[in-house]
Amino acid sequence: MPKTYSRYVCQQCGRVAAAPMGKCPQCGSFNSMVEEVVREESPVKSPNAARGLTGRTSPRPIGEFGGSDEDRLHVPMSEFARVLGGGIVPGSIVLVGGDPGIGKSTLMLQMALDMAKSQRVLYVSGEESERQIKMRADRLMEKDEKFSPDLFLVTETNLSAILDHVREIKPTLLVVDSIQTVYLPELDSSAGSVSQVRECSSQLRELAKSSGVSVFVIGHVTKEGVIAGPRVLEHIVDTVLYLEGDRFQAYRLLRSVKNRFGATAEVGVFEMRERGLVEVPNPSEAFLAERMINAPGSAIAVTMEGTRPLLVEMQGLTSPTQFGNARRTPNGVDYNRLLMIAAVLMRRVGLKLSEQDIFVNVVGGVKIDEPAADLAIAAAIASSMKDISIRADAALIGEIGLAGELRLPGQMPVRLREAQKLGFKVAIVPKRLRKAEPWPTNIEIIEARSVYEALQAAFHIEKKEIPGRKVAGV
């Protein structure tokens, strides 16, 4: 073992100190000193250590290297495979982040159970005992299903011991639950600190790259995302997945925010049931299942989650303000976006929202940050304000500009096809200036230049006019 010692390095200016300091003496920034481990390498290095990961440093033509898509390990859970970009890449390290209690351990254990049918899997937990994991696994399995002999469990938090287990068992897949609980004994700081989290994940990455084991690390996100949040690791790992959703609702979205081996922003949809996470292959259908037809304050948006179109119901509610200050309360959409949409509705459409509290909710507990949902949000609010329902057979797509104009989002044909597939007869969309790509013809398309025009088309009344309008049209 090479000798190691700690030093403290300012993350802002690089100043090195022997002891931790609250304020950097060089640049004056606070709490920027982070512990780093220095290993005193013995002068006689092994030939491979001097030559990088593979021990082969001479350049070769690109075609001579292995590493094609066929090398990926097949993942039976197709929503999971989709997010990874088609399967697990051998030797890759994947971070699965998310709030506590959202279902990360459940997802990883299900994946481990599935993968153990064809691979050797080691599941290391620092949070639960083997018995607890076994009990959970019992729940996740079918009644008469047998456990695979290739799934190994161990409760361990010392990373050196974990690496020994890997050497002994030689798995193709390693799950570490969670990175905040493992520690290197050489470091002074406690498990979960930035330096521990970073050092441990660096060692796991080295393990993955040198031995070809695919490593999944679970990481908790704190509310502020500051202390040892998985943010520190994002650049160390190959792929970052986030499991998100409302803890009180069933749907969970697994989103890839970084992927060296596939498209980012790809999303897998799951539902948390009694017996674990169940894949939702048709999320749009699921999200619209409980919709109340012809209720005021409801509009359907078509957003893109990665390469997949998703239809969601936007609900809006306005109610007179009680205490002077009108409140805007979004659930699932961005607060500032809602302020902007409300302002446009006031100034460009003439709705008197200044003395109204506004609530917006995305049904299903998903978060929508795509501007293409603006029009549906605006329509839901206007519909509630005027107490007139939106046409039940219409989907609304469009980004709203400050002048009240509508802008065309990308990938319109895919969105329109999905709306049509789910039985929508009409799509209210921004006016096309260039007709570059052909749009589907089996859905009626109403093109609107402005929010006002779109609302006129969307409202479910004979005389298609918004009552109470005072501002001149855009």
Give contact residues for Mg ion (rule: CB under 5 A): 105
Residue (of 279, 284, 317, 285) closest to 303 by Cα position? 284
Q: Which of 64, 274, 290, 462 binds ligand TYD (CB under 6 A)?
A: 274
Residue 102 in the binding site for ligand TYD (CB under 6 A):
yes
Residue (of 84, 102, 106) closest to 93 by Cα position? 84
Residue 87 in the binding site for ligand TYD (CB under 6 A):
no
Q: Which of 52, 100, 225, 281 binds ligand TYD (CB under 6 A)?
A: 100
Six-digit token string for 311: 């239809």
Residue 98 in the binding site for ligand TYD (CB under 6 A):
yes
Residue 142 in the binding site for ligand TYD (CB under 6 A):
no
Least CB distance to ligand TYD at residue 100 (A): 5
Residue 101 in the binding site for ligand TYD (CB under 6 A):
yes
Residue 97 in the binding site for ligand TYD (CB under 6 A):
no
Q: Which residues pair with 276 in a beta bridge?
A: 273
Q: Answer yes or no: are the C-beta atoms of 460 and 379 closer than 8 Å.
A: no
What three-state secondary structure class fits 363?
coil
Pick between residue 179 and residue 204 the one whose CB is nearest to Mg ion.
179
Q: Which of 91, 103, 219, 297 binds ligand TYD (CB under 6 A)?
A: 103
Pick between residue 182 and residue 397 the one whose CB is nearest to ligand TYD.
182
Residue 126 in the binding site for ligand TYD (CB under 6 A):
no
Residue (of 253, 269, 246) closest to 361 by Cα position? 246
Pick between residue 181 and residue 201 the one whose CB is nearest to ligand TYD.
181
DSSP of 254-287: EEEEEETTS-SS-EEEEEEETTEEEE-S-HHHHH
A 10 A CB-CB count for 227 gives 12
Q: Which of 45, 139, 352, 432 binds ligand TYD (CB under 6 A)?
A: 139
SS3 content of the chain, % helix, strand, coil (to 5): 25, 30, 45
Least CB distance to ligand TYD at residue 238 (A): 21
Q: How far does CA 443 lie from the centroid of its chain?
A: 31
- Rounded CA separation 114/87 (Å): 13
Candidate ranges 29-37, 93-101, 282-290, 378-386; the one touching ligand TYD (CB under 6 A): 93-101
Q: Which residues pair with 368 in a beta bridge?
A: none
Query: What backbone phi and psi angles, to 5 degrees, belong to 246?
Result: -90, 130
Candidate ranges 99-107, 160-168, 305-313, 316-324; the one touching ligand TYD (CB under 6 A): 99-107
DSSP of 423-469: T--EEEEEPPS---SPPPSSSEEEEESBHHHHHHHHB--SS---TT-
Q: Which residues pair with 405 in a beta bridge?
A: 450
Residue 131 in the binding site for ligand TYD (CB under 6 A):
no
Residue (of 132, 129, 88, 86) closest to 112 by Cα position? 88
Q: Where are the alpha helices (DSSP H) in 116-179?
A: 130-140, 159-169
Residue 196 in the binding site for ligand TYD (CB under 6 A):
no
Beta strands in 101-162 (DSSP E): 121-125, 151-155
Query: What backbone phi and psi angles, to 5 degrees, belong to 190?
Result: -80, 160
Task: Select the binding partner of residue 55 from ligand TYD, Mg ion, none (C-beta < 5 to 8 A, by kind).
Answer: none
Residue 365 in the binding site for ligand TYD (CB under 6 A):
no
Q: Which of 32, 92, 105, 356 binds ligand TYD (CB under 6 A)?
A: 105
Binding residues for ligand TYD, rule CB under 6 A, total 14
Candidate ranges 155-163, 223-231, 272-280, 346-354; the one touching ligand TYD (CB under 6 A): 272-280
Q: Which of 77, 272, 351, 377 binds ligand TYD (CB under 6 A)?
A: 272
Residue 219 in the binding site for ligand TYD (CB under 6 A):
no
Pick between residue 269 and residue 345 the one whose CB is nearest to ligand TYD.
269
Residue with tokens 């250590």: 49
Q: Which of residues 41-70 bind ligand TYD (CB under 6 A)?
A: none
Candidate ranges 18-26, 101-109, 113-121, 329-337; the one touching ligand TYD (CB under 6 A): 101-109
For binding to ligand TYD (CB under 6 A), which residues are involved?
98, 100-106, 136, 139, 272, 274-276
